[in-house]
């Protein structure tokens, strides 16, 4: 953001320069922490974003910050990417762009490949850990990611970027800025294409994105209209691979879209002939539109507001081998099976408005904010082809359900300099959620003899207070202490996809977090170090059960008492003018108290899904799934004139897929390193030319960044199933970027 302010003010004079500087700050003030805010946070620099803008998705960059892990299904950081922070998954991480929530209101996740090339689009990124500040959208239970789109430039300029590397990975991007026209107007545009065959077999990704923004500046006011988004097509790779299949067929194998056929070109280990459906793909279009207003009334009062609308339409196609046609309403005989191709579709609309008023004086800063959004989304299924069934008998939808969600919040925030070295902080938020879902889901319920009914009508009233203090005993040292309460509603899947593994007519409840944080930072001209202690106690936390739905999404269950506690360490040391070293590490304990593991036993009678019983095991205190006790990352940045070499590394401790602490369902610890090399120079016609290459997984480590598993039982005998997402061996991505 500072670079953009400099660019604008270079052509502005006097009051206009100062006014525009303040206006640029107003845009991000509502959701951003500062040095005076008692919150654990990290900012990603523009240089870090640029260095990682070759083609990988945003989670790969966010993993440079403490306690963050990036995961990927295709094995190369493009396509099905996600992340976890302090062990909490993407459904509990709040993501905003210009203060507008990007989390899907149904699933609560941010799907990064639906808005490709955000690294090139955003101008600044802040990661807050813990409950953080009041924000818009779903609650932050592990942290939040606040992004802003890049500000418009005051000068005519542009850039073009080309990348190519292993597994046919490529990126083409072009951007152009009009500069300030007539002292009031500016326009930006960007187009990007990213594609890859993927490390995983058939793990292809094809992403297209755009950004178009225009702005009007007049004295104390900036009005921006921007639209960004893209179209994504990815081969379905979310089903992973077993260790047994990796041993037989290699680490790149997976069986999505696989079907048996006598003349198949591929042969399995048992001699079976198979082929693969080539359109086993996820397809999604997302268009994000925002109208942003920033206005400064005087030296103390300012206002930022946003009107937004997001449109999304998507579907994925699947080949199902030997499907039971009775479950699709095609026959009354429950023994008839046939191959088929099906589509699952959705069309969503999200619109709303929000605003933040800010007051600043010598000793007191105040912010008052409000937001409201409405989301609607029908989900339905269609059959494209069924072997042996005439196409005219496939008309209609085999499931159909709808969602309505209202989400509103009010907050008030104050930061008071009570003493020369002490600042007190308070942040109070009220959030209202109304969630309705009705119709029938995509699962046949054999107990009721029909498609699984959906009937959800829930309202939530959440009060989320945050208090804290900053103490700065010297110019170089500062301490902070904070306490916060955050509450969050269940996701759509928590309501709809647990029917086979939960007691009939049972519903998940909302969850509550009590977050305590204590931090210390030492800052010197060439050295910075920090330590942060956290204790996050959860009431009714939704944790992984060890079961999945038929889309391989992990299912959750409320546990009464659980906690995460740990210490986060970080340092940055500029050892010389040409060498900078950074490192961070997290050591944590993540436990469920008195956990009782429940696995469906299909030989027992009971009330699970109205028919079965549970095999139960009393575990005592057990480790929360997907929560490593140790995480660390580091970097060495060597630079001289136009040459730069950056070596980064990442260590992640072992993780369990479930809370059963089952060694049959575990991710081993891993350590990986990447090396980025670049040379930047200027020419008579170009401001800069950057030639670079990144070597990923430099030491060729064999590892899996993610996985999932489930268990079931029959007559007390437990069976475990585990699937993994292998990551690519050593691979390279080269890039040329020209700015003019």
Q: What is the pLDDT of residues 241-272, one digit of tens each?
A: 999 999 999 999 999 999 999 899 999 988 99
d(CA 323, CA 387): 10
Banded pLDDT at 549 (limits 50, 70, 90): low
pLDDT at 126 over 60: yes
pTM summary value:
0.93
pLDDT at 11 over 60: no
Buried b (16+ CB within 10 A) or exposed e, 164-196: bbbbebbbebebbbbbbeeeeebebebbbbbbb
pLDDT mean over 151-163: 91
Q: Nearest Cα to 322, choosing from 312, 336, 309, 306? A: 336
Banded pLDDT at 506 (limits 50, 70, 90): confident
pLDDT mean over 16-44: 70
Residue 579, strand partner residues: 576, 638
The answer to whether residues 83 and 109 touch, using CB atoms and an 8 Å cutoff, is: no
DSSP label at residue 88: B
pLDDT at 7 over 80: no
Banded pLDDT at 443 (limits 50, 70, 90): confident
As a whole number, the mean pLDDT across the chain is 91
Burial class for 525, CB neighbours closer than 10 Å (0-12, 13-18, 19+): exposed
d(CA 676, CA 734): 10
Residue 232, strand partner residues: 207, 284
- Residue 166's contacts (CB-CB under 8 Å, 6 or more residues apart) are 76, 728, 731, 732, 733
Residue carrying structure tokens 């807050």 = 128
d(CA 499, CA 505): 9
d(CA 4, CA 52): 20
The answer to whether residues 478 and 468 touch, using CB atoms and an 8 Å cutoff, is: no
Q: What is the pLDDT of residues 718-740, one digit of tens each?
A: 999 999 999 999 999 999 999 99
What's the pLDDT at 450?
85
Please name the helix (run of DSSP H) or strand (run of DSSP E) that holds residue 26, with its range, or none. Answer: helix 14-29
pLDDT at 26 over 70: no
Helices (H) then strands (E): counts for the chain: 7, 37
Q: What is the pLDDT of residues 492-503, one digit of tens each?
A: 989 988 766 777
Helix/strand/coil percent split, the chain, to 5: 10, 60, 30
Domains and CATH numbers, the chain: 2-263+287-721+732-739 (2.40.170.20)
In 492-526, where do the E strands start and end?
511-523
Percent of the chain with pLDDT over 90: 74
Virtual CA dihedral for 650, 655, 657, 659, nearest 10 degrees? -150
Buried b (16+ CB within 10 A) or exposed e, 388-404: ebeeeebeebbbbbebe
Starting at the earlier edge strand, list the strands of the sheet with 100-101. Answer: 40-44, 122-129, 143-149, 93-97, 100-101
Average the pLDDT over each of 227-231, 390-394, 428-432, 630-634 and give the range with the smallest value.
390-394
Q: What is the pLDDT of residues 194-240, one digit of tens each?
A: 999 999 999 999 999 999 999 998 888 999 999 999 999 999 998 89
d(CA 259, CA 680): 50
Average the pLDDT over each of 75-84, 357-366, 541-550 and give the range with the smallest value.
541-550
Banded pLDDT at 138 (limits 50, 70, 90): confident
pLDDT at 18 over 70: no
pLDDT at 559 over 50: yes
Buried b (16+ CB within 10 A) or exposed e, 302-315: bbbbbbbbbebebb
pLDDT at 8 over 70: no
Q: Nearest Cα to 695, choosing from 678, 712, 681? A: 678
Banded pLDDT at 29 (limits 50, 70, 90): low
Residue 658 to residues 87, 230, 311, 496, 625, Cα–Cα distance (Å): 13, 35, 35, 20, 5
Starting at the earlier edge strand, list the strands of the sheet with 266-267. Answer: 258-260, 273-276, 266-267
Residue 494's SS3 state is helix
Q: Within 10 Å of residue 101's Cβ, how many Cβ atoms?
A: 26
The answer to whether residues 660 and 615 touch, using CB atoms and an 8 Å cutoff, is: no
Name the more confident of 22 and 608: 608
Average the pLDDT over each of 19-33, 350-364, 384-398, 595-609 and give the range with the smallest value.
19-33
Residue 500 to residues 321, 389, 505, 598, Cα–Cα distance (Å): 22, 29, 11, 13
pLDDT at 427 over 80: yes
pLDDT at 6 over 70: no
Please name the helix (run of DSSP H) or strand (run of DSSP E) that holds residue 115, with its range, or none. Answer: none
């Amino acid at each position: 953001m500072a670079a953009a302010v400099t660019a604008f003010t270079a052509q502005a004079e006097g009051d206009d320069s100062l006014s525009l500087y303040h206006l640029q700050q107003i845009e991000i003030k509502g959701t951003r922490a500062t040095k005076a805010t008692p919150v654990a946070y990290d900012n990603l620099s523009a240089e870090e974003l640029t260095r990682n803008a070759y083609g990988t998705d945003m989670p790969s960059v966010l993993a440079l910050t403490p306690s963050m892990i990036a995961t990927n299904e295709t094995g190369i950081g493009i396509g099905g990417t996600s992340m976890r922070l302090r062990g909490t998954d993407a459904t509990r991480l709040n993501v905003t762009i210009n203060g507008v929530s990007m989390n899907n209101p149904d699933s609560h996740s941010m799907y990064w490949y639906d808005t490709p090339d955000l690294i090139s689009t955003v101008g600044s990124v802040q990661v807050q850990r813990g409950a953080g500040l009041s924000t818009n959208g779903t609650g932050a239970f592990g942290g939040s990611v606040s992004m802003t789109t890049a500000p418009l430039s005051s000068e005519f300029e542009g850039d073009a970027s080309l990348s190519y590397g292993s597994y046919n990975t490529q990126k083409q991007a072009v951007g152009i800025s009009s500069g300030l026209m007539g002292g009031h107007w500016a326009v930006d545009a960007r187009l990007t294409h990213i594609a890859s065959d993927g490390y995983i077999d058939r793990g292809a990704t094809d992403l297209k994105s755009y950004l178009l923004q225009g702005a009007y500046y007049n004295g104390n006011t900036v009005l921006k209209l921007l639209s960004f988004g893209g179209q994504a097509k990815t081969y379905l790779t979310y089903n992973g691979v077993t260790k047994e299949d990796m041993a037989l067929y290699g680490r790149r194998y997976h069986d999505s879209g696989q079907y048996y056929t006598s003349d198949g070109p591929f042969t399995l280990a048992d001699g079976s002939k198979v082929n693969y459906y080539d359109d086993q793909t996820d397809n999604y279009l997302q268009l994000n539109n925002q109208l942003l207003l920033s206005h400064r009334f005087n030296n103390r009062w300012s206002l930022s507001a946003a009107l937004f609308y997001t449109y999304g339409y998507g579907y994925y196609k699947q080949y199902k081998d030997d499907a039971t046609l009775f479950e699709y309403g095609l026959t009354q005989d429950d023994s008839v099976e046939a191959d088929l191709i099906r589509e699952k579709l959705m069309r969503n609309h999200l619109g709303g408005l929000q605003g933040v008023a800010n007051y600043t004086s010598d000793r007191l800063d105040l912010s008052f904010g409000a937001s409201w959004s409405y989301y609607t989304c029908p989900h339905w299924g269609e059959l494209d082809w069924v072997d042996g069934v005439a196409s005219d008998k496939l008309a209609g939808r085999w499931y159909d359900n709808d969602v309505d969600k209202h989400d509103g919040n009010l907050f008030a925030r104050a930061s008071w300099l009570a003493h020369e070295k002490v600042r007190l902080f308070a942040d109070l938020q009220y959030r209202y959620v109304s969630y309705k879902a009705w119709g029938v889901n995509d699962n046949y319920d054999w107990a009721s003899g029909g498609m699984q009914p959906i009937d959800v009508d829930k309202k939530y009233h959440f009060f989320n207070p945050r208090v804290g203090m900053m103490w700065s005993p010297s110019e170089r040292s500062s301490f902070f202490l904070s306490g916060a309460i955050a509450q969050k509603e269940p996701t759509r899947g928590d309501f709809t996809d647990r029917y086979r593994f939960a007691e009939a007519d049972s519903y998940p409840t909302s969850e509550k977090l009590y977050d305590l944080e204590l931090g210390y930072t030492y800052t010197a001209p060439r050295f910075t170090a920090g330590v942060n202690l956290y204790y996050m106690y959860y009431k009714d936390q939704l944790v992984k059960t060890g079961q999945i739905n038929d889309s391989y999404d992990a299912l959750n269950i409320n546990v009464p008492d659980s906690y995460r506690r740990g210490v986060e360490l970080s340092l940055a040391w500029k050892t010389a003018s040409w060498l900078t070293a950074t490192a961070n590490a997290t050591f944590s304990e993540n436990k469920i108290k008195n956990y009782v593991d429940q696995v469906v036993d299909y030989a027992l009678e009971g009330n699970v899904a109205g028919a079965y019983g549970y095999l139960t095991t009393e575990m005592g205190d057990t480790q929360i799934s997907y929560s490593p006790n140790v995480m660390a990352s580091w970097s060495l940045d060597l630079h001289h004139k136009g040459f730069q070499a950056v070596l980064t590394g990442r260590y992640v401790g072992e993780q369990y897929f479930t809370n059963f602490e089952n060694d049959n369902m575990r991710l081993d610890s891993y350590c990986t390193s990447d090396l980025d090399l670049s040379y930047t120079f200027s020419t008579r016609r170009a401001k800069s030319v950057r030639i670079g290459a990144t070597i990923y997984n430099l030491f060729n480590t064999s590892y899996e960044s993610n996985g999932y598993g489930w268990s079931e039982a029959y007559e007390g005998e437990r069976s475990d199933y585990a699937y993994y997402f292998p990551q690519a061996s050593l691979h390279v991505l080269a890039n040329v970027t020209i700015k003019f």
